[in-house]
Structure formats: C-alpha cells, structure tokens
Amino acid sequence: MGTSTEGILIERIVLVDRITRRRKDIPLATSSLPGHLIQLTIEGSAHHESEGRVFDMEPGLVVWFCQDEEVKVRVTKAPWTFLTVNFIAPHLPPPPFDQSIRHASSGTRHLFENLLQTWHDRSAKALVRHIRVKARLLDLIADVLPSESAPFYLDPMAQIWWKLETILRERLQEPVDLNSLCQLSGRSARTLYRACHRATGTAPLKRIKKIRLSMARGLILHSQLNISEVAYRVGYDRVQELCRDYRHHFGLTPLQDRAAGPDYRRIKLRYHR
C-alpha cells in the first residue's frame, strides 16, 4: 500500500534570490523572515551567531532558518554570495535544531540555480510558472532535508533562553510577566535575564515584545487578517497599543506597512530578504 499526504505543503513562496555582500568585517544584525528560509553559500564566507549557535557559512554549506530567528553576521571573506529562498509552509516542520546547518549534496547548487531561473522566468503562463516554481522548491527541500549536520558551537546559557522562547512562540496570545516565565522555565529571574541577554542582547520582556511585533509584521505583510485579529493573535489586548508599538518599532503603522508591501519589493538586495 502506498502512503498519501493531505493539505497544502507550500502555501506561498515569498522570494528566491542570489545576494552578494561585498564589504568585509561590517557586522549585521537582522532576523529571518516569517516562515522558512534556506540559504546556500556559494562564494566567500561569513561568521554567524543565531539562536545560541556560532558557525561559519562557507561555500557548500546550507542553513535552514525558521520563524524570525535573530541573526548576527560578519562577512569574513568578501565577496560573500549566497542563494536564498523564503517560503511559507506552516505544515512543514523545520529540521531538528542540531541539523539545521548541513553540507550541500553534489546537486544542491544545481537545484537552487534551477529554482532561481524558474522564479525569474516570466515567459510561461502564470499557472505554469507557479507549478514549476513549487516543483523546483520541493525538489530542493527534498535534497536539503538533513542527514548530517555541520559543526557549530552551542552556548549553554543562551540555549536556556532559546528553549523557553520556542515555547513562548506557541503562546503569544497569553499574558506574560517575569514570574510566569520563571514558572514556565523552572529558572530564577536572574538566570533568565542572563540567558536572554546572552542570546539576544536584551531583557526577557523586551525580547518578547520584539517577537510579538515581528510576528505581527509577518501577519500584516503575508496575510489578509484585519488588524484586530493580528493584535489578538500576538497577545495585544488593544489594537491601539499594537499600532503604537508597531509604528515606534518599524516606523510605519500596520496599514501603511501593508500598503507598502514586503521589504524585498522596496529594496532589491538586503540580507535574508
């Protein structure tokens, strides 16, 4: 008997691109987009710190980010060039944390280049292009599903926070204070503060607000939910509070941001976009 799968695996492909960073030793702090983000370095190298991991992206390494991971990057060998694809697939589980960095197979770059070429090919009818792009992405995903992982250093203190944050991301609708964080993690307030600061450079409640705003932005840019529903889903009791914090953090109101569209439409080349 064969097996069957139900539901749509890939909801939306947001971006496929080749990005080059030509300047060395300039640190960058950013976050990946909502959904899944796969990158393959093809030239140069860059030092990464992400979710408590420290690793060097060199030619032939694939990294799989998921759901707004905080990333600090420093190009160590310029130019640093990577292929990247961002897609929304809520039913696709990300690789295990210790296997999200891996060595590419002999055919990974060809599959990535094929996807990029198909993404930019506007000669086919829209439906045909849509089918072909998704097919190329599925081929790439099947190829990069991890069977082995590349080495990285895992900061034990930072990992205390990342484990807690994984739980918190599933509970953004719930009210949170420092006492509830301590109960949820089984750690003292002092330990949580140290862990969060080591992992993200900020305090726990500020980090949670940033997560909420980041997730809100993903819903604003990549869904049709109204602002009230977005506010509810990310834990804001009042729409006005979300709009105030959103404008302070992103420089635009939610409606202005939605009208402007995703960042990759505003700026042709930017890190992780």
Q: Which tens digit of pLDDT belongs to each residue from 61-112?
A: 999 987 666 677 889 999 999 999 988 886 777 777 667 888 999 999 999 9
From the number of C-beta atoms within 10 Å of its C-beta (0-12, 13-18, 19+), residue 261 rates as exposed
Flag whether 4 is in a domain.
no
Could you give the number of structural domains in the chain?
2
- For residue 148, the 8-state DSSP code is S
**Distances, alpha carbon 201 to alpha carbons 72, 150, 194, 197, in Å:** 11, 25, 9, 4
Flag whether 188 is in a domain.
yes
Of the pLDDT bands very low, low, confident and very high (cuts 50, 70, 90), residue 119 is very high
Residues 158, 195 contacting (CB under 8 angstroms): yes
Of the pLDDT bands very low, low, confident and very high (cuts 50, 70, 90), residue 264 is very low
| Entry pTM | 0.63
pLDDT of amino acid 112: 98
- For residue 268, the 8-state DSSP code is S
Average pLDDT of 22-46? 79
Torsion of CA 175, 161, 83, 251, to 10 degrees: 40
From the list 136, 145, 150, 137, the residue with the least C-alpha distance to 61 is 150
pLDDT of amino acid 48: 84
71 and 200 in a single domain? The answer is no
Q: Where are the alpha helices (DSSP H) in the chain?
A: 108-120, 126-144, 156-169, 178-185, 189-200, 204-222, 227-233, 239-250, 254-260, 263-266
233 and 138 in a single domain? The answer is no
147 and 17 in a single domain? The answer is yes
100 and 199 in a single domain? The answer is no
Residues 95, 142 contacting (CB under 8 angstroms): no
SS3 of residue 197 by DSSP: helix
CATH number at residue 199: 1.10.10.60
From the list 251, 268, 173, the residue with the least C-alpha distance to 212 is 173
Flag whether 26 is in a domain.
yes
Flag whether 6 is in a domain.
no
d(CA 273, CA 252): 19
Flag whether 273 is in a domain.
no
SS3 of residue 156 by DSSP: helix
Residue where a domain stops, chosen among 153, 177, 210? 153
Residue where a domain stops, chosen among 133, 153, 173? 153
Domain residues for the domain of 99 are 12-153
Flag whether 165 is in a domain.
yes
183 and 123 in a single domain? The answer is no
The residues near 241 (Cβ < 8 Å, ≥ 6 apart) are: 231
139 and 176 in a single domain? The answer is no
Q: For the CA atoms of the chain, what is the radius of gyration?
A: 19
